[in-house]
Amino acid sequence: MLASPSTCQPPGGSMTTTALPLTPDYDAWPVESRIKHVESTPRLVTVHWSDGVISRYHSIWLRENAADDTTVNPATRERILDLSTLPAWPEIAYAQIDTHGALCIDFMPEERRLRFHPGWLRAHDYDNVCDNNAADGEAPLVPVTTWRGGPGSAPDTLDASGLLDTSPGAEAEEAVLAPALESLLGKGLVRLRNLPTEPGSLQSIANRIGPLRPTNFGELFDVRAKPDPDSNAYTAIALPPHVDLPTREYQPGLQCLHCLENSVAGGEAVMLDGFAVAEALRQRHPEAYTTLTRVRWRFANTSRSTDYVWHAPMIRQDARGELLEVRIADFLRGPLQATFEEVEPAYEALMALQHLLREPGFAIRFSYQPGDLVIFDNRRLLHARDAFEGDSGHRWLQGCYLERDEVRSRYRMILRARRQRRLLDSATS
C-alpha cells in the first residue's frame, strides 16, 4: 500500500489527478515540451519528450528533488529529507504520466508515490548538458563576452530616468534593470544616465539590485579630493588601472560610482576589461600568465585606524582554466613574500602585465555627467582616473559596493517574473 494519496494509477485502474504538482522551489516553469512516454528500471527513468529529446533521471536524484512535504518544508521550500534516513536506496517500482502530464513514480521500499512537474524536470535535465561550464554547476545566466575599448568606445548606456519613481519589482523597473544586469553579467559594465543627483540617492538605486556591502569606508563613500585623505582616490592625482579592496579575503564583487557633480578640468574615467587583458597576457606571454596565476602577492591597506592584508594571485581561474577574477592594484601591493627563486619571474610577469594595461586599445575613456551611475564587476573590471585640477571646479562621486550574488539573484527574479507572466497569459488566453 502506497503511503501518499493516490494521484495516478497503473494502466487499467481509474486515474484521478489534481493540477500539476508543486516544484521544490518558488519559480514558475512553463511546460514547453510534453512528456510523450516513459521507461523505467529500478534506478533509472527515461523520459521521451514531444520535441524528440530523451532525458534520463536517476532514482536517487528524483527522490531527493521531490516537492512533497516529506522532502521539502512547504513553508520555506528548503529540503528536510536526509537521504541516509531512508530504509534503502530509493528504487522505482512503477513510472507513468498522469492526465495532467506530470511524471508519477512509485518509490520502494518507502511505498511512496510522488509526482514531478514536467517543466521543472526539463529545465533541470542534467542528461543533456552541452555547455562545459554547466557540467559541474549552473551555466552562466548571460554569456560572458570579453571586450576591448579604443577611440570612440563607450560603456553600454541606458536611460534610467524615473527608475526611482517605479515600485520595486514593477515591470517599469524591470525595463531598466533587465538590460542593465545583462550588461553587468555579460560585459561586467553598464552606465545608467539621468538619475537624481541628491546626495545619498545612490543607496536607494543600489537597493533595487540588492543590499549594500559595508566596508571601513562606510556603506556609501564620497570620492572627491579632501584634506588629510586616507586613500589616493580622495585626491586629485591620477589613479592607475585597479580593482578596489584587493586587500580583503573576499574583495567586493560589484562597485557603483554615481556622479553628483563634475565641473573640473580633467579627471576622465578609464575602464578596462581585466579578463580581456588577462587573455591577451595568456596568448602573448604564457609563462607570465602562469606565474601570475600561481604567485601570491601581498595586498595591504594600512591606515591610521585599520590594517587590512591579504595574499592572493593576481589572476584566478577555475579548474577548467576559465577566468574567475583579477586582483590588480599597484598602489595597494605590499612587499612580495615569495620564494627566492620566484621573485624575479614574478616581477617579470608583473611588468609584462603592466605594459598591457597601458595599451590604449584596451581602455574605454569617458567623462562623468551629473546623474550618471556606472556599475561594474570589481573582480573583473579595472578602473582608473586621469588627474584633475582640483581648483577648476568640483568633482563629487558617491560610491558603494554590492556582491556579484546580488546581481545574479536579482536577474533570476526578473526571469522568474517573466515566466510567471507567461504562464498567466497562457492560462487566460
Output the domain CATH number for residue 307: 3.60.130.10
pTM for the model stands at: 0.86
pLDDT of 305: 87
Q: Among 320, 274, 271, 321, which Cα is nearest to 293's?
A: 321
- Where would I find the H helices in 85-197? 118-123, 171-187
Which triple of cell numbers denotes residue 147? 571586450
Question: The domain spanning residue 97 has which CATH number?
Answer: 3.30.2020.30
Residue 241 lies in a domain: yes
Whether the pLDDT of residue 139 is over 60: the answer is yes
Q: Which residues contact 122 (CB under 8 A, 6 or more apart)?
A: 29, 31, 32, 33, 49, 53, 55
On whether the CB atoms of residues 235 and 203 are closer than 8 A, the answer is no
Q: Among 316, 372, 365, which Cα is nearest to 152's?
A: 365
Domain-ending residue, one of 91, 108, 128: 128
Number of domains in the chain: 2
Residue 62 lies in a domain: yes
Residue 418 lies in a domain: no
> 17-21, 40-44, 113-117, 300-304 — which is least confidently predicted?
17-21
Q: Which residues contact 286 (CB under 8 A, 6 or more apart)?
A: none
Per the model's pLDDT, the better-predicted residue between 236 and 301 turns out to be 301
Residue 307 lies in a domain: yes
Which domain covers residue 320, as residue numbers?
Answer: 157-413
CB atoms < 10 A from the CB of 302, how many? 12
Residue 421 lies in a domain: no
Whether the pLDDT of residue 229 is over 70: the answer is no
Residue 196 lies in a domain: yes
**How many angstroms separate the Cα of 214 from the Cα of each of 203, 304, 308, 401, 402?**
12, 19, 15, 7, 9
Residue 238 lies in a domain: yes
Residue 146 lies in a domain: no
pLDDT of 228: 66
User: 3-35 in b/e burial notation, b at 16+ Cβ within 10 A?
Assistant: ebeebbbeeeeebebeebbbbbeebbbebebeb
Residue type, 415: L
> 23-32, 159-168, 218-227 — which is least confidently predicted?
218-227
